[in-house]
Amino acid sequence: MRKFNIRKVLDGLTAVSSAASASSAAQQQQAGNRETEIQETLQSEHFQLCKTVRHGFPYQPSALAFDPVQKILAIGTQTGALRLFGRPGVECYCQHDSGAAVIQLQFLINEGALVSALADDTLHLWNLRQKRPAILHSLKFNRERITFCHLPFQSKWLYVGTERGNIHIVNVESFTLSGYVIMWNKAIELSSKSHPGPIVHISDNPMDEGKLLIGFESGTVVLWDLKSKKADYRYTHDEAIHSVAWHHEGKQFICSHSDGTLTIWNVKSPTKPFQTITPHGKQLKDGKKPEPCKPILKVEYKTTRAGDPFIILSGGLSYDTVGRRPCLTVMHGKSTAVLEMDYSIVDFLTLCETPYPNDFQEPYAVVVLLEKDLVLIDLAQNGYPIFENPYPLTIHESPVTCCEYFADCPVDLIPALYSVGARQKRQGYSKKEWPISGGNWGLITQSYPEIIITGHADGSIKFWDASAITLQVLYKLKTAKVFEKSRNKEDRPNTDIVDEDPYAIQIISWCPESRMLCIAGVSAHVIIYRFSKQEVTTEVIPMLEVRLLYEINDVETPDGEQVPPLPTPGTGSNPQSIVPQSHPSTSSSSSDGLRDNVPCLKVKNSPLKQSPGYQIELVIQLVWVSGEPPQQITSLAVNSAYGLVVFGNCNGIAMVDYLQKTVLLNLGTIELYGSNDPYRREPRSPRKTRQPSGGLCDINEGTMVPEDRCKSPTSDVKDNSFSRSRSSSVTSIDKESREAISALHFCETFTRKADTSPSPCLWVGTTLGTVLVIVLNLPPGGEQRLLQPVIVSPSGTILRLKGAILRMAFLDTTGSLVPPAHEPWREHNVPEDKDEKDKSKKRRPVSVSPSSSQEISENQYAVICSEKQAKVISLPSQNCIYKQNITETSFVLRGDIVSLSNSICLACFCANGHIMTFSLPSLRPLLDVYYLPLTNMRIARTFCFTNNGQALYLVSPTEIQRLTYSQETCENLQEMLGELFTPVETPEAPNRGFFKGLFGGGAQSLDREELFGESASGKASRSLAQHIPGPGGIEGVKGAASGVVGELARARLALDERGQKLGELEEKTAAMLYSADSFSKHAHEMMLKYKDKKWYQF
């Protein structure tokens, strides 16, 4: 079947459309547009796309490993990801191409290498001696499934146990199989009549490397003599085994079982266990066996010089502990501590002072990998406190529902947020330093502050310091605390419009300069916050209720029910329909019994203590109207210089003066048009056909509106009443009548063609591609601002684009960005002295635009980006001077006007996975890269661009992926990344002591090369496993070939290089086959991936 390259088709379309738009623009320029002669400095070579770093908790973790010398932690996941953690700020993300689950990880301790075993029966050797680790070798098992791996300290021979119960041995330098195999039937011989099950454990005796302890799932354990190739002892138990651990002296080992018991065995007494313990079993009086408990999934046995050994285990709780949280049990001497965890335990490791298994272990901490958290327990302190986790692993504490990214913020912002956030820190952590301390930081080449804000399902908002590719939480704001909480489901108000998470954040609007914050929540609520360093108690929470109507009469529903009649259009702007209140409304139903005039949430009516940080200025709620719930908010903007907040949904738009606490504007979308409605929608009358008025309408008949596409971000909002009262067969005009507000932008610009000077205004974009301009007449500053009303009036200016409007911005006559006016931040909770008052009277809103000093004859440019195209419009003439059709076959999910290299550009992310940038004002295409293989609603909702070539999105429910589209950042990235491997001396081996040396005691070494090498054991079957060279190749091995294993590796390399050329063709074929196989598996998994998800999990 011939492959169809859609990218080339899209590139062709882009080229055609850009050529067409460029020629049309050229014609317009010849028509006398002298103002467009702006020197553009950005070129294609300034752009390059690459991933920078991934932050957050590894999604769906499945494996854990620790290098006790390098002090590096590795976590593998069910999607084939590998995350490596060193000291705080040193993190690394890698990915196995196949996407198969990581079942086990093994460090080559202090070698700068790691072996990963995957669920698709492949082994991979990672080189960690480079800033971006790479795979040096892979080995694919064809006939057997891998279940357990063990790599002894300072050995190059990896033991691989399989589902069939056999053990194969892999040379980790060449990644080839040894001919030495331990077959299951030889290991158990006649001790069992049935197959012993898969291998669940392999380890060598700490005191004798020649003895290998093999654990089979069924309960059989075998001590195998590697030299004589036979079993020394067999230990049988009638309960299935989950894990095995040695005592460091090699005379005892401990097994954990499926009935919640631990058995301790003396090596030389195979007939019965030396001791059986049921840690959580109830001891029965008459000497009977304790009741069975849940399986003990893992046990570790660690010794100390000065006291009793530690036995640490996960699982094993009794079956009657219903609803009890997962536990880690620490048994030390006579004390047993049960440590409850918030999530189920995936794996745990005990961190010890020595890497040598035959020495006293001296455990000092336990690292516990949970399903959604990483916990470190201090074993040296009473009560086993946990360490404070310095990694940014709490992004998903509550599911992320939206995020915003701000690069190049004011320099005082991060210290201000940090100082208020420092008071929120929990107490009771371990006093010790974080023990995972390996690696080194990279060089900081970026000096500008960056802030990420995440909004969450529980109504919380987190501010993160994201400067210089690191991430650290600064401050957390809980928006839900302003509302009354229902204690149980029955107690919940029947005004809810969402089943769960009624406080979830949908939109964040933040002004970094004034520090004003505004959020819109899923229950059609808006909250405005001011930043203050003082604690205050608010006696009465300021509150407004707004009644936003949808005036057009609905068509009859398919089942014949008539939709409740709606008020006439005039009531939308009638001041009586606005209910400004300082207390929650009490009226709950209208005369005909329909729910009316009630908000979805109830604001607290008791005094609210507000800590330093963000404090409530005003709560605004949309109310139910004649039995119809309020529609969720689709756009939001706040402006500190004007003291205004504006928001819109599919019913209309509302503007509020948050200084005077009054509603200034409350209009249905259609009323915004006045008599200029291009669709000629007649209120309260059925519509048959659409008759767009000529000249204004730029949409062709076939254009899809957002409600036709499930992936459009503008329809990401749940529209309950809409879905209840319509079917999919409703005509497109009926859907289009529900025109939502999709973009809002405050600015100081020319509102009409006849204007001679710019004035404050609001630009409104809708889902039908219309841009309308509303004029703002603001009273003078100071006291007058609080006494005189703000006058709001439509300007009559209407502009049209294809597709929903996403973003608007303004350029001055030199092509520089004109930011919205803002007021500098000041402390509001401290009374001003007289001088300050005089200053504030004179204070004008800061508008950093050079246009404030322009002559009247000079102009501005409006940049408008929609789902389909971008236009640059000259003001005040309103001529479209540049136009670019961004996409014909897809639609833009996110568009941002951003600064880069002392210039500005438009950056777009399309639903087809393309990231594009365009120059401004001419809209020349500068970058077009296919980045994401597919899109889902989580990515669509969280993707955002910011200044200096930075962007991010939520790559999984727990992780943020950052990327850059700046060539300069890509070049500097290698320097900025931290180093995982640092040269560290391996600790000295423990002393054998005089008597042990004299009488032959102590650790016995083994020449494994003599046993497992090709000369002794022969060649392994070629069909058993195939070797696949990694991208690191021979050069990567050379880089890694140093240290203890490295000496042997150098000798092996000479042989390898000679044989490499002969095997190259075969290996390339193997690599291609493996790549094709992993691709088909990946595609199948993608198809099965998205089922039964909540709206914020997509």
**Lowest-confidence pick of 35-49, 557-571, 1015-1029:** 557-571
Collapsed DSSP state (helix, strand, coil) of residue 1071: helix
Q: Is the pLDDT of residue 21 over 60?
A: no
Q: What token pair was written down for 979? A: 């180093």
Per-residue model confidence (pLDDT) at position 1083: 54
Residue range 97-122: average pLDDT? 96
The pLDDT-based confidence of 1041 (bands split at 50, 70, 90) is very low
Instruction: List pLDDT tens digits, range 958-969.
Output: 999 999 999 999
Q: Which of 603, 334, 345, 632 is nearest to 479 (CA)?
A: 603
Per-residue model confidence (pLDDT) at position 717: 36
Q: Which residues contact 284 (CB under 8 A, 6 or more apart)?
A: 290, 291
Alpha-carbon distances of 331 from 250, 338, 359, 380, 494, rounded to whole Å: 20, 9, 20, 13, 51
Collapsed DSSP state (helix, strand, coil) of residue 481: helix
Per-residue model confidence (pLDDT) at position 554: 42
Residue range 718-737: average pLDDT? 35
Per-residue model confidence (pLDDT) at position 548: 86
CA 170, 176, 179, 185 torsion: positive or negative? positive
Most confident of 133-137, 189-193, 304-308, 693-697: 133-137
DSSP states of 941-1003 as a string? HH-EEETTTEEEEEEETTEEEEEEEEHHHHHHHHHHSPBS----PPPPPPP--HHHHHTT-SP
Per-residue model confidence (pLDDT) at position 1078: 62
Strands, E, within 554-607: which ranges? 579-581
Per-residue model confidence (pLDDT) at position 285: 66
Percent with pLDDT over 90 in the chain: 57
C-alpha 455/C-alpha 476 separation (Å) is 10
C-alpha 226/C-alpha 508 separation (Å) is 64
CA 351, 354, 355, 360 torsion: positive or negative? negative
**Lowest-confidence pick of 289-303, 524-538, 1069-1083:** 1069-1083
Collapsed DSSP state (helix, strand, coil) of residue 295: coil
Q: Which of 52, 101, 65 is nearest to 81 (CA)?
A: 101
Q: What token pair was written down for 305? A: 């010089």
SS3 string, 842-910, reads HCCCECCCHHHHCCCCCCEEEEEEECCEEEEEEECCCEEEEEEECCCCCCEEEEEEEEECCEEEEEEEE
CA 708, 711, 712, 715 torsion: positive or negative? positive
Alpha-carbon distances of 33 from 2, 5, 808, 858, 905, rounded to whole Å: 49, 40, 22, 12, 21
Q: Is the pLDDT of residue 1040 over 70?
A: no
Residue 255 one-letter amino acid: C
C-alpha 126/C-alpha 16 separation (Å) is 45
Q: Which of 299, 351, 303 is nearest to 67 (CA)?
A: 351
Q: Which residues, listed in sequence order, are joined to residue 375 by a DSSP beta bridge?
A: 368
* Structure-token match 């169809």, residue found: 4
Q: Which residues of 195-231 are buried (b: 16+ CB within 10 A; e: fewer)?
A: ebbbbbbbbbbbbbbbbbbbbbbbbbbbbbebeeeeb
Task: Specify the DSSP class assigned to residue 539.
Answer: S
C-alpha 747/C-alpha 618 separation (Å) is 23
Instruction: List pLDDT tens digits, range 216-233.
Output: 999 999 999 999 999 999
Per-residue model confidence (pLDDT) at position 7: 43
CA-derived radius of gyration, the chain: 34
Q: Is the pLDDT of residue 898 over 60?
A: yes
Q: Is the pLDDT of residue 71 over 90?
A: yes
* Structure-token match 């490596």, residue found: 84
Average pLDDT, the chain: 81
Task: Specify the DSSP class assigned to residue 920.
Answer: T
Per-residue model confidence (pLDDT) at position 492: 55
Q: Is the pLDDT of residue 837 over 90?
A: no
Instruction: List pLDDT tens digits, range 526-577.
Output: 999 999 999 999 999 999 999 987 665 443 333 333 333 333 333 333 333 3
Per-residue model confidence (pLDDT) at position 321: 67
Q: Is the pLDDT of residue 257 over 60?
A: yes
Q: What token pair was written down for 675? A: 């008599």
Per-residue model confidence (pLDDT) at position 423: 85
**Lowest-confidence pick of 236-250, 417-431, 692-706, 829-843:** 692-706
464 close to 400: Cβ distance less than 8 angstroms: no
829 close to 536: Cβ distance less than 8 angstroms: yes
The pLDDT-based confidence of 592 (bands split at 50, 70, 90) is low
Per-residue model confidence (pLDDT) at position 191: 61
548 close to 622: Cβ distance less than 8 angstroms: yes
C-alpha 413/C-alpha 405 separation (Å) is 14
297 close to 217: Cβ distance less than 8 angstroms: no
Residue range 1013-1019: average pLDDT? 70
Per-residue model confidence (pLDDT) at position 1094: 53
Residue range 704-727: average pLDDT? 32
Report if pTM > 0.85. Answer: no
DSSP states of 73-127 as a string? EEEEETTSEEEEE-STT-EEEEE-TT-PPEEEEEEETTTTEEEEEETTSEEEEEE
Per-residue model confidence (pLDDT) at position 851: 41
The pLDDT-based confidence of 803 (bands split at 50, 70, 90) is very high
460 close to 983: Cβ distance less than 8 angstroms: no
Q: Which residues contact 783 (CB under 8 A, 6 or more apart)?
A: 841
Percent with pLDDT over 70 in the chain: 75
Collapsed DSSP state (helix, strand, coil) of residue 1095: coil
Q: Which of 883, 891, 953, 882 is nearest to 916 (CA)?
A: 891
Instruction: State the Cα angle at 980 between 71 and 397, rounded to 5°.
Output: 75
Residue range 879-902: average pLDDT? 94
Per-residue model confidence (pLDDT) at position 287: 65
Host H or E run for residue 496: none
Host H or E run for residue 16: helix 6-30
